[in-house]
């Protein structure tokens, strides 16, 4: 478990991002457009916050506890890339 407040905030954001990603993955099999809407609705607010807290948490934590802030940073960047791909790269027909 992280020792600094930034590491603990990073853990909370990681949990929220994991819930969002898991929820979108489950919805993708049931309702694809609902999963797209979920990603477009929550990612712009949660992922940039995760990037900022992940970077600061990585800088503030010691060597052993850097795993959680790095995981937060990586998952946030992946979700931002997915958000941009859906927003600018997905076409609904012709």
Q: What is d(CA 53, CA 69) in angstroms, rounded to the nearest whole number?
A: 8
Model's pTM, two decimal places?
Answer: 0.89
Per-residue pLDDT of the chain (94 residues; tens, 9 = 90+): 788 899 999 999 999 999 999 999 999 999 988 999 999 999 999 999 999 999 999 998 888 888 999 999 999 999 999 999 988 887 766 5
Distance of alpha carbon 28 from the chain centroid: 17
């Amino acid at each position: 478990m992280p020792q600094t407040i930034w590491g603990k905030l990073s853990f909370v954001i990681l949990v929220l991002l994991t819930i969002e990603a898991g929820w979108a993955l489950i919805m993708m099999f049931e309702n694809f457009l609902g999963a797209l809407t979920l990603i477009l609705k929550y990612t712009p607010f949660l992922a940039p916050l995760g990037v900022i807290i992940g970077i600061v948490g990585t800088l503030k934590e010691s060597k052993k506890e850097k795993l959680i802030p790095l995981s937060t940073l990586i998952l946030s960047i992946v979700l931002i890339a997915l958000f941009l791909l859906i927003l600018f790269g997905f076409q609904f027909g012709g």
